[in-house]
Structure 1
Amino acid sequence: MSAAPAFSTDQPSFGDRIHALWGRLGGTQLPDTVTMTNGRIEAEEVLVSAKLAGRVADVLVDEGQTVDAAAVVARMDTADLLAQMAGAQAEVRRAEKAAAEAEALIAQRDSELVLAQQEYDRASTLNARGYGSRQDLDLRKSQLTAAQAARVAAEAGLEEAHAATDAARADVARIQSSLDDSLLTAPRRGRVEYKLVQSGEVVGAGAPIVTLLDLSNVYMTVFLPAREAGRLAVGDEARIVLDPAPEYVIPATVSFVASDAQFTPKTVETQDEREKLMFRVKLRIASSLLKQYESRVKIGVRGVSYVRTDQATAWPAELAVKLPQ
C-alpha cells in the first residue's frame, strides 16, 4: 500500500481565489479577463526640510492641514543671518567708495599724464632748436614715464576695487539666499501628514520639518502574478472599491508595471500567496478627480482593485463608475 502524499497538489489558483472573493462580495460571475486583488491607497510623500542648520523659529501648520504650493509652513531663526547681512552690506559700501576713489585717482593721473606729455613735447622742441638742454629733456622724459606708470597703477586699483565690490555683492546675494531659504515653503499643494519639529528646536542641515502628502498623486499599489501583469499596459483602465465605502467604484488607470518580479509583502497577500513571485502595479487616480474630492482623500485606506487583461472586455455592471454626489 503506497504512502499518502505529504501535501495536496490540488491547491486553488490565484484566479480561483479572487473569483471566490468576488462571489463573497456579492458580485455576479467575474469575467476571466478581469483580475481582482487587494491593496491600499497611497500618496506621494514630500519632505519640507531645512537647508541650513539653525533654530526653528515657528512651525506655521498643523497635521491634517491642507496647504497651497509656495505657502510658508515654517520659519527659521534669522538673527545671525541678519547680522551677517549688515556686515556684508557695509563691505559693499566700502568697496563702492574705494571704486569711486580709484576713478577719481585715474582722472587725476590722466591730467598729470597730459601735462607731462605737453612738457616733454615742449622740451623736445626746444632741444631740437638748440634752446633747451639735454638734461631738461631727460627730466621731462622721466616725468612722462612716471606719469604713465601712475596711470597704469590707478587702472589696476580701479579693477581691484571693482573686484572687491563684486565679491561684497556676491556675499550679500549669498546671505540673501540663505534668508530666503529660512522661509520653508510647500513645493506643491498637499496635506500635512506629520509635523516633525516643534518651534524652538535646533535642527541640522537637511533635517525634515514637515511631511506633506501630494493629493494630486494618489494611487493604489497592488501585486499581480506574471500571467495577469504581463498583459497590462500603462494607461489601461482599472477600478478601485474601498473597504470603508463599498458602495462607490472609483476609476483609475495603470500608471506603472514593475519590470522585475518580487515577493509579495506580508501586508498585502496571504501566506500561501507570498510564496509566489508577483509584479508590483500602481493604479493612479486622476488628479482632476482627486481635486474634486480632495477633502475625502485618505491615505492608508484598504480596498480591492480590478484590472482588465483584455481591454475589449466590458466592465461588469457592479463595477460601473459610481462616485459620491
Structure 2
Amino acid sequence: MDKTKPPPLVISGTAREPSAVPKKKPRKAKRLISVMIVACLVMLGGAGAWYWWQQQLNALPAGLANSNGRLESEQVEIATKYAGRIAVVLASEGQMVDAGEVVARMDTTELEAQLQAGKARVNLAEHQKTQAEALIAQRESERTFAGQELERAAKLHERGFGTGEKLDLARNEMRTAQASYDTAVAGLAAATAAIAAGQAEVARFQSQVDDSTLVAPRRGRIQYKLAQPGEVLSAGGRVLTLLDLSEVYLTIFVPARVAGPLTIGDEARVVLDPIPGYVFPAKVTFAATEAQFTPKTVETPEEREKLMFRVKLTIDPELRKKYESQVKTGIRGMGYVRSNATIAWPDWLAVKLP
C-alpha cells in the first residue's frame, strides 16, 4: 500500500492551501489594561475627594464674605511750582525717601540774581532812612531857631523897636523851616516804606529759590522718574511720582447685603496671591455710600444684588512699616470681611505673618 501523501488538489491551476488558524491574544495584556483603568479611576476619585475636602475645609462660615481685590496706596506727584529748568534729580525709581528729603533741584541762577538785586534795594532804602532821620534832626533844629527868631521879632515889633518887614521875614523863615521839616519826615516815611517793599520782594524771591528745591512731602518709595536734568518744565510740571506707604490698603467690591452691615473699624483679613500661605490683619477704613456698578433698573431683589460697593481694607500701620520694603502695589489678593464682630474667624484665616 502506497503511503505517500497524495498531491494537492489543483483547481484552475492553483493549489489549495490549508486555512490559517487565528492567534489568541495573551491574557496578561488584558489584565494589565484592566489594572491601569482601575488605577486611573481610583486616582480620579481620590483627586475629586481631595478637592471636595479642600472646598469643605476652606468654606466660609455664615456671616463671612470674600472678594478679589488689589493692593493700593496713595500716589503723590512731586512737581515744580514755577517754570524753569531742572538742574539735578537726586532720587531714582524704587528708592525709599523720607519726608523733607531733597529729591531734585531747579536751576536758580536767574532767581539768585533777582534776590541779590532785591537785597541791594533794601540796603539802599535803609541808607535813605538813615539820611532822612539825620535830615529830620537838622530840619528840627532849623525850625526851632526860626521859631525863636519869629518870637524875638514879634516882641521887638510890639515894643516899637522892630519893623514889620523884619517880622514878615521871620514868619516866612518859620514857614520855610516847617516845610523843610515836613519834607524830611515824609522822606523818612518813604524810606521806611521802601524798606518794607524791598523786604517783601526779597522774601518773594527767597521763597521761589526755596521752592526750586523739591523735597519729598512724606516718606515713601519713588515710583516713576518723569523728567531728566536739563529739561525745561512749565509751572506744575511733574518730576517724580512718590508712592505713599503710610497707608496701604486692599480695594474690594462687595454686594449690598455684605456692605450694609459693615462699619468703619471692623476687622478684616487679607491674603495676597504671591504669598497665599500668610494671612494679614486689616481693618475696614472706607465703605462707599454709592454703588459702583448699578444696573439700569433696581426693581427686583436679583437686580439689587448686582449693586457693588467699594470697600477699603487698610493694613495696620505698624505691620506695614515692618514690611514696607516688600510692599508692592498692584498685587492681587483676597479680602475677607464679616457682618458681625462676634463671628469667629476660621482657623485657616487666623493671622499668620511671614
Aligning the two structures, in what range does the TM-score lie when normalised by the shorter sequence?
0.7 to 0.9
Give the match's secondary structure for 2:279.
strand
Give the match's secondary structure for 2:209.
helix
Cα distance, 1:29 vs. partner? 3.0
Contact 1:23 1:29 in 2 (8 A): no
Give the match's secondary structure for 1:91.
helix
* Residue of structure 1 aligned with 2:93, choices 63, 83, 90: 63
Are 1:120 and 2:120 an aligned pair?
Answer: no
Q: Map Cα deviations across residues 69-98 of structure 1 (whole Å, 9 max, x no partner).
A: 000000000111111112111111111111
Give the match's secondary structure for 1:323.
coil
Q: Map Cα deviations across residues 177-216 of structure 1 (whole Å, 9 max, x no partner).
A: 0010011000000000001111111111011111111111
Are 1:210 and 2:235 an aligned pair?
Answer: no
CA distance in 2, matches of 1:284, 1:172: 46
In structure 2, what is the equivalent of residue 246 of structure 1?
Answer: 276
% of aligned pairs identical? 56
Q: Map Cα deviations across residues 46-75 of structure 1 (whole Å, 9 max, x no partner).
A: 111100000000100110000000000000
CA distance in 2, matches of 1:298, 1:132: 102
CA distance in 2, matches of 1:152, 1:289: 72
Q: Map Cα deviations across residues 239-263 of structure 1 (whole Å, 9 max, x no partner).
A: 0000000111000000000000122
Once the two structures are superposed, the pairs formed by residues 1-325 of structure 1 within 5 Å of their partners are 27-263=57-293, 276-324=306-354
Cα distance, 1:145 vs. partner? 1.3
Contact 1:63 1:194 in 2 (8 A): yes
Segments of structure 2 that go 5 or more residues without pairing to the other structure are: 1-50, 295-302
Q: Give the TM-score normalised by structure 2.
A: 0.80
CA distance in 2, matches of 1:45, 1:28: 35
CA distance in 1, matches of 2:171, 2:154: 9
Q: Map Cα deviations across residues 247-306 of structure 1 (whole Å, 9 max, x no partner).
A: 110000000000001228xxxxxxxx9x92200101111111111111111111000010
Aligned partner letter, 2:104: A
Label 1:88 to 1:301 Cα distance change in 2 as closer, same or farther (>3 A).
Answer: same
Aligned partner letter, 1:121: E
Aligned partner letter, 2:63: T
Contact 1:22 1:30 in 2 (8 A): no
**Mean Cα displacement is larger for which, 89-98 or 245-254?**
89-98
Segments of structure 1 that go 5 or more residues without pairing to the other structure are: 1-20, 265-272
Label 1:252 to 1:22 Cα distance change in 2 as closer, same or farther (>3 A).
Answer: farther
Superposition CA RMSD, Å:
1.8
Query: How many equivalent pairs are there?
Result: 295
Aligned partner letter, 2:320: L
Larger Rg: 2
